[in-house]
Amino acid sequence: MTAAARGVARLALVASLAAPAAVRAQQPPGPPAGYVRQDSMIAMRDGVRLHIVIYAPSDAQAPLPIMFLRTPYSADGGTRWFANYLRELADDRYIFVFEDIRGRYKSEGQFVMMRAPRDRKDPGAIDESTDAYDTIDWLVKHVPNNNGRVGMLGISYDGWTTVMAMLDPHPALKAVSPQASPIDMFLGDDFHHNGAFRLSYGFEYAVRMETNKQQKPFEFDRYDTYDWYLRLGALSNVNRTYLHGTIPTWNDFVAHPNYDAFWQRQTALPYLDHVNVPTLNVAGWWDQEDFYGPITIYEALEKYDTAHKNFLVVGPWYHGGWGFEREGAKLGDIDFGVPTAAEFRKDIMVPFFAYYLKDRGPGHFPEAVTFEAGSNTWRHFDSWPPRAGVTQERLYFQPGGGAAFERPAAATAAHDSGFDSYVSDPRHPVPYRRRPIPPTYYPGGSGWPTWLVQDQRFVDGRPDVLTYETAPLDHDVTLAGAITAHLFAATTGSDADWVVKLIDVYPDTMPTGQPASFGGYELMVANDVFRGRFRQSFTTPHPITPNQVEEYRIDLHTQDYRFRTGHRIMVQVQSTWFPIIDRNPQTFVPSIFAATDADFRSARQRIYRSGPYASYLDFPVETGPTTQ
pLDDT in tens, 286-331: 999 999 999 999 999 999 999 999 999 999 999 999 999 999 999 9
Tell me the per-residue pLDDT of 343-356, one tens digit each, with 9 for 90 and over: 999 999 999 999 99
Mean pLDDT of the chain: 92
Q: What would the mean pLDDT of 34-44 be, rounded to a whole number?
A: 96
Q: How many other CB atoms are there within 10 angstroms of residue 122's CB atom?
A: 8
Q: Do 220 and 272 lie in a common domain? A: no
Parallel, antiparallel, or unpaired: how do β-strands 603-610 and 613-614 relate?
Answer: antiparallel
Q: Do 261 and 356 lie in a common domain? A: no
- The candidate with the shortest Cα–Cα distance to 176, out of 276, 295, 256, 286, is 276
pLDDT, residue 30, reads 65
Quote the Cα angle for 452-456-461, to 5°: 150
pLDDT, residue 29, reads 59
Residue 24 lies in a domain: no
What single letter denotes the amino acid at residue 146? N
* Residue 484 in this model has a pLDDT that exceeds 70: yes
pLDDT, residue 412, reads 62
Q: What would the mean pLDDT of 78-90 be, rounded to a whole number?
A: 93
Helix (H) or strand (E) holding 530: strand 522-531
Q: What is the pTM of this model?
A: 0.93
Confidence of residue 413 (pLDDT cuts 50, 70, 90): low
**Sign of the C-alpha dihedral computed for residues 511, 512, 513 and 518 taken in this order:** positive
CB 52 within 8 A of CB 39: yes
CA distance 360 to 400: 60
Helix (H) or strand (E) holding 295: helix 292-302
Q: Do 252 and 309 lie in a common domain? A: no
Residue 84 lies in a domain: yes
The domain boundary, picked from 265, 281, 312, lies at: 265
Helices (H), 65-117: 87-92
Q: What would the mean pLDDT of 230-238 be, rounded to a whole number?
A: 97
Q: What would the mean pLDDT of 141-168 be, rounded to a whole number?
A: 97
Residue 63 lies in a domain: yes
Q: What would the mean pLDDT of 357-363 be, rounded to a whole number?
A: 96
The domain boundary, picked from 234, 265, 296, lies at: 265
Q: Do 234 and 281 lie in a common domain? A: no
CA distance 14 to 31: 27
CATH number at residue 533: 2.60.120.260
pLDDT, residue 394, reads 98
Residue 219 lies in a domain: yes
pLDDT, residue 17, reads 31
Tell me the per-residue pLDDT of 384-407, one tens digit each, with 9 for 90 and over: 999 999 999 999 999 999 999 999
pLDDT, residue 39, reads 96
Q: Do 172 and 255 lie in a common domain? A: no
**Domains of the chain: total:** 3
* Phi, psi values for residue 423, rounded to 5°: -100, 125
User: Hey, which residues does 487 pair with through a beta bridge?
Assistant: 552
* Residue 414 in this model has a pLDDT that exceeds 90: no
- The candidate with the shortest Cα–Cα distance to 152, out of 97, 107, 112, 189, is 97
Q: Do 279 and 221 lie in a common domain? A: no
Range with lowest mean pLDDT among 38-47, 504-513, 561-570: 504-513
Q: Do 276 and 300 lie in a common domain? A: yes
Q: What would the mean pLDDT of 359-378 be, rounded to a whole number?
A: 97
Q: Do 169 and 218 lie in a common domain? A: no
CATH number at residue 234: 1.10.3020
Q: How many CA atoms lie within 13 A of 450 on its CB side?
A: 14
Range with lowest mean pLDDT among 25-29, 291-295, 468-472: 25-29
Q: How many other CB atoms are there within 10 angstroms of residue 205's CB atom?
A: 21
Confidence of residue 4 (pLDDT cuts 50, 70, 90): very low
* Phi, psi values for residue 611, rounded to 5°: 55, -140
Residue 238 lies in a domain: yes
Residue 627 lies in a domain: no
pLDDT, residue 23, reads 39
Domain range for 476 is 390-622
The domain boundary, picked from 265, 289, 321, lies at: 265
Tell me the per-residue pLDDT of 520-577, one tens digit each, with 9 for 90 and over: 999 999 999 999 999 999 999 999 999 999 999 999 999 999 999 999 999 999 999 9
Q: Do 7 and 46 lie in a common domain? A: no
CATH number at residue 128: 3.40.50.1820
Residue 571 lies in a domain: yes
Q: Do 219 and 255 lie in a common domain? A: yes
pLDDT, residue 510, reads 85
Residue 25 lies in a domain: no
Residue-wise DSSP of 14-67: HHHHHS-HHHH-SSPPPPPTTEEEEEEEEE-TTS-EEEEEEEEETT-SS-EEEE
pLDDT, residue 213, reads 67
pLDDT, residue 513, reads 79
CB 348 within 8 A of CB 280: yes
pLDDT, residue 444, reads 80
Q: Do 326 and 417 lie in a common domain? A: no
Q: Do 326 and 301 lie in a common domain? A: yes
